[in-house]
Amino acid sequence: RHDDPNRGVILETATQHGTRTVMAQKLIAEYREGDKRILLIGGEPVPYALVRIPAEGELRANLAKGGTPKAAALSERDRWICEQIGPELQARQLDFVGIDVIGDYLTEINVTSPTGIRELDKMCGLNIAATLFDTIEKRLDQTPGTD
């Protein structure tokens, strides 16, 4: 909190007296309901999100930290967020991206290790990898010199 009397000490410790860069975000109360990993392929969202619910007493919802996975259909807000960023992802030729949403907030865009395919495939009867490879094939077909 910005008004915490220990703010200075906390910042000094976190940044090792200004020698490390850190990033902090406001605590979003809806974290208790879990964060949603939404996969976008070719700028379009998979119709279900992987909701990661934090373990009791934990802020992080990572499955590796004991979070519980469940699938949920995308909300109107989720779809709106995807509509806003999908065209930019495509302009940057980012065909496979995972975004994290907590409540109404986009909290992360992950282009290096978007996870959740296996869980969503199993829970929702999807074949996300097939959709991804179809998208990659189309991209290659449109790329000169990739015959």
How do residues 117-140 score in pLDDT, each as one tens digit?
Answer: 999 999 999 999 999 999 999 988
The DSSP code for 74 is P
> What is residue 44's predicted lDDT score, i.e. its pLDDT?
97
Domain ranges of the chain: 28-141
Rounded to whole angstroms, the Cα distance separating 17 from 4 reads: 18
What pTM value is reported for the model?
Answer: 0.85
Q: How far lies 61's CA from each of 41, 56, 88, 110, 118, in Å?
A: 23, 10, 27, 16, 17
Whether residue 36 contacts residue 70, with contact meaning beta carbons closer than 8 Å, is answered with no
Q: Which of 53-62, 66-75, 90-99 has the lowest mean pLDDT?
A: 53-62
The pLDDT of residue 108 is above 90: yes
Residue 77 phi, psi dihedral angles, 5° rounding: -65, -40
pLDDT band of residue 116 (cuts 50, 70, 90) is: very high
Mean pLDDT of 56-64: 87
Q: How far apart are CA 86 and CA 80, in angstroms?
A: 10
- Which residues contact residue 97 at a Cβ distance below 8 angstroms, ignoring those fewer than 6 apart? 39, 40, 89, 109, 110, 111, 114
Superfamily assignment of 28-141 in CATH? ATP-grasp fold, B domain (3.30.470.20)
pLDDT computed for residue 54 by the predictor: 93
Q: Are 135 and 89 in contact (CB under 8 A)?
A: no
Say if residue 105's pLDDT is above 70.
Answer: yes
Whether pLDDT at 146 is above 70: no
Residue 62 pLDDT grade (very low, low, confident, very high; cuts 50, 70, 90) = confident
Give residue 114's pLDDT band: very low, low, confident or very high (50, 70, 90): confident
Residue 89 has pLDDT above 70, yes or no: yes
Q: What is the pLDDT of residue 147?
A: 64
